[in-house]
A and B are shown apart, each in its own frame.
Chain A
Amino acid sequence: MSQAAVTAGRGGLNLAWRRLRRNPAGIASAVLFAAILFACFPGAPLWVSHVCHHSPNDQNIQGYISSGGHRVPVVANDGTPIGPGWRACYILGADANGRDLFVRILYGGRVSLESASCPPSYVWAWRCCWGSPPGTRAASPTR
C-alpha cells in the first residue's frame, strides 16, 4: 500500500498522530503523562475518599497503622516517620508531621500540572484570538 497516497488527504492532527504512533518513546511518554493526569486529577480525591482516608494536610503524629501484621506508629517516639511499604496508606511513608507522602505527591502534582498548563494555555488562547480570524478569511476563497 502506498503510504503517500493514504496520507495525502489527511490533516495536521492526523499526521501528528501517525508520527507519534511510529515513536515508541513518544507513546510511552504519552501513556505516562495520561497516567499522571489521571492519578492527580480524578485519582487524588478518589484515593483519599476510597483508599486512604486522610487529606494531604492531615497530620497523624500519634496514629498507628497495621503493616505486615504489626501495629506500627506513623511517627516513632524518636520522631522518625514511617518509611515506604506496600500498604493502603503511607505507601511512600510519612513526613515528620505524620502526613501521607503519597497523598501529598498526588495533590502536589495537581499544583505542578496546573501551573505548567498555564503558559501553553495562554499562548494557545492568544494565538486563537489573533490568528483565527485572518486564517479563516485567507482560507475561505479556496473552499
Chain B
Amino acid sequence: MKVTITLVTLAATAAIAGGCGSGSSSSSNGASNTAVNGGVLKAGIPGNPDHLDPALSYTNEGWEILEATNNGLLTFKKAVGGAGAQIVPDIATAMPVVSDGGLTYTFHLRHGVMFSAPVNREVKPSDFKFSIERLFRVDSGGVGFFTGIAGAQSYAKTRKGGISGIVADDATMTISFHLNQPDGTFLDYMATPFAFAMPVGAPNKDVSTIPQWRVATGPYRITGYVPHQSITIRRNPSFKSWTPDTPNGHLDGIDVVIGVTPDQSVNEIADNQLDWYFESIPPDRYSQLKRQYPKQVYPFVRNNTTYFVMNERKYPFNKLAVRQAVNYAIDRNALVKIYGGQGTPTENILPPGFGTAFKRHDLYPYNLAKAKALIQQAGVEGATVTVWGHTTDPTPTAVQYLASVLNNIGLRATVKTFDESVYWDTLATAKGDPQIAFQDWNQDYPEGQDWMDVILNGEHIVPVGNNDQSYTNIPAYNRMIDQAKRMPLGAKRNAIWAKLDYLFMKNDAGWAPFMNRQWPKFVSARLHGLVFNGTYFELFPSMYLTK
C-alpha cells in the first residue's frame, strides 16, 4: 500500500479538468536558480523501504528513491508549482500516438538511454514489454493498472507466451499497447514506477538485494543496500540527461541510514547530523519546530485518505450494521488530534483534492449510543476483534483508540501491531486477513479511478497484492466503476465517482474513513531545492546542499 504521495488540491482540479494530468504540490526551500552541485545528502528512514525494485515498491519511500534511479516511457514533470502536474515524455521521444478510438497507444523510444553496469546497453522497447510482464510474474501490487491491456488477464493466469496486447519492435524503437477498453488514465499508469524499464533477463523475484540486477537508467544508482543498516546512492556514471524532465541532479549522492526513529530524526536534523528524513515530523514536535525553525518546516497537503478497513468476509464485520456502528463510534476529530492536528477529518472515500469527484457527505455523525444500538441489533455483543496497525507513530495510538472505542460499543477488542516494512504486504495477502486494520491510501495518480477501481472494485480481488482489503464486491457498483473508467476524464466521470463515494459509504461502509492527512517535513538548514511532486513525492534530483 502506498504510504505517502502528495498532491495539492487546486493543482489536481486543474489537472483533471485539463486531461491526463497528475497533481503535484511543490515548494522550494530557497531559490532554485542558486543551486549548487556536490555534497552527499544525509538521509534517515525508520525501517527498510518495502522494496527497491520498481516492479514491487508501492510506498513513497521506495518511489522517492526509484524516481531518482529509474525511468519509464513517460514521467510527471519535475518542476516547481503547477507545471509538475503534467505528464510528459521521458524515455519516449514524444507523447504516444493514440489510435483505434483510444484503444491503442504507440510510443517511440529515444536512442542512447543506457542501463547502468553491469548491463551496459541501450534501453529497448522489448525491455518495457518484459517489465510489464514481469509485474505479473512477481505478484506486483501494481498489476491492477495493466490488466486492461489485451491479453494481460490470461497472462496473469498462465504466465506463458507474453502479453499479446504489447507489441515491441526494437528495430524501429516502437512499442504499442492495445487495450481492451478505452482508458484515459493509461498515461498515468505508464508514468508510475511499475512501468519503469528493467532489462530483459531480470529475475522473477525482488531484486532489492541483488546488486547486479539493481540496474539504473536515471541520474543516480543504488550502489549499496544493507537491510536494517543503510542504502547508498551515488551518481550513475552511464547517465546523460536527455530531457529537462530527467535532470542531472545536484547531489553527488545520498547516504540513507536505516533505523532512525522520528524523534531521533528531529534531534539529528536540528544538530545538522542529518539533512532529510523520509517520514513526516512526529505530531507532538510539529508546533515546537514550526516556532523554533520556521524556515525548515514544510507542511504539505497530501491527496490521502486515512481509514480503518473492515473485512466484509470476517465476523463480525460481515454484518453491515457493525460496519456502520464503527463509522458512528469513531470521533474523527479525536483521531485528527492523535495525528497532531496534521490533517482534516473526513468520512468520504475520495480526498478533497479530487475536484468535482469530491462531494462531502455527512452520513455518520459521531454517535456512540447509535453505534451501541447497532451492535446489539446485529447480535454481535462480546465478539472478539483484533485491530491491526503498524508500529510507526502515531498509528499505535490510533489503533489503541479504535480498540477502546470498539470495547465501548460492546465488542472485545485487542491490538496487534507490525513493523511497517512488513505491514502493508501482510495486509495485501489473503493469508494476512485481519478483521479490521489501519489503512492509508495515497494517490498513485490524481483521479477517482485510483481509489474506486483500485481499492473497491471487487473484480480486482486477488490472493496476493490485493488492494480491496475490505473485500468489497458489489456487482452493481463494479459495473458503475467499469462504466466510469471508459469515459474521458472530466466532470461527467467525476460525478460518477462522487455518487459511488456516497453509495459505498451508505450501503456498504467497508471503510471507516477518518482523515485526509498532511505531511509536514523538517529539513536541515543546508538543504534546499525541495520539490514535492504529487506522484513521486520529494524529488532527490532537485535537492541541493549549501555550505
A residues in contact (CB < 8 Å) with B = 57-59, 61-62, 75-80, 96-97
CB closest chain-B residue, reference A98: B334
Interface assignment of B394: CB less than 8 Å from any CB of chain A:
yes
Number of A-B contacts (CB under 8 A): 48
**Shortest distance from the beta carbon of A82 to any chain B beta carbon, whole Å:** 12
The interface bits of chain B over 326-350 (1 if a CB of A lies within 8 angstroms of the residue's CB, else 0) are: 0000010110011111000000000
B331 contacts A62, C-beta separation under 8 Å:
yes
B394 contacts A79, C-beta separation under 8 Å:
yes
B394 contacts A61, C-beta separation under 8 Å:
no
A57 contacts B337, C-beta separation under 8 Å:
no
A96 contacts B394, C-beta separation under 8 Å:
yes
Q: Given A79-B283, A80-B284, do A62 and B334 touch, yes or no (CB 8 Å)?
A: yes
B residues in contact (CB < 8 Å) with A = 283-284, 286-287, 331, 333-334, 337-341, 394, 397, 400-401, 404, 407
Q: Which residues of A contact B286 (CB under 8 A)?
A: 78
- Give chain B's interface secondary structure class: helix
**Shortest distance from the beta carbon of A23 to any chain B beta carbon, whole Å:** 44
Q: Given A78-B287, A79-B340, do A62 and B404 touch, yes or no (CB 8 Å)?
A: no
Q: Which residues of B contact A96 (CB under 8 A)?
A: 284, 338, 394, 397
Cα distance A130–B374 when bound, in Å?
58
Cα distance A80–B337 when bound, in Å?
8
Q: Given A77-B341, A79-B338, do A62 and B287 touch, yes or no (CB 8 Å)?
A: no
Cα distance A80–B415 when bound, in Å?
23
- Give chain A's interface secondary structure class: loop
Cα distance A41–B339 when bound, in Å?
35
Q: Given A78-B283, A78-B287, A80-B284, do A97 and B401 touch, yes or no (CB 8 Å)?
A: yes
B404 contacts A97, C-beta separation under 8 Å:
yes
B284 contacts A57, C-beta separation under 8 Å:
no
Checking A58, A59, A80, A97 against B287 with a beta-carbon cut-off of 8 angstroms, the contacting residue is A80
Cα distance A23–B404 when bound, in Å?
47
**Shortest distance from the beta carbon of A79 to any chain B beta carbon, whole Å:** 4
Checking A62, A76, A97 against B397 with a beta-carbon cut-off of 8 angstroms, the contacting residue is A97
Q: Which residues of B contact A79 (CB under 8 A)?
A: 283-284, 337-341, 394
B404 contacts A75, C-beta separation under 8 Å:
no
Q: Which of B286, B287, B334 has the most CB of A within 10 A?
A: B334
Cα distance A27–B398 when bound, in Å?
45
A59 contacts B283, C-beta separation under 8 Å:
no
A78 contacts B340, C-beta separation under 8 Å:
yes
Q: Given A78-B283, A79-B283, A97-B397, do A61 and B331 touch, yes or no (CB 8 Å)?
A: yes
CB closest chain-B residue, reference A80: B284
CB closest chain-B residue, reference A61: B334
Of all A-B residue pairs in the complex, the 7 with the closest CB atoms, nearest first, are: A61-B334, A79-B340, A79-B283, A77-B341, A78-B287, A78-B341, A96-B397
Cα distance A57–B403 when bound, in Å?
11
Cα distance A79–B286 when bound, in Å?
10
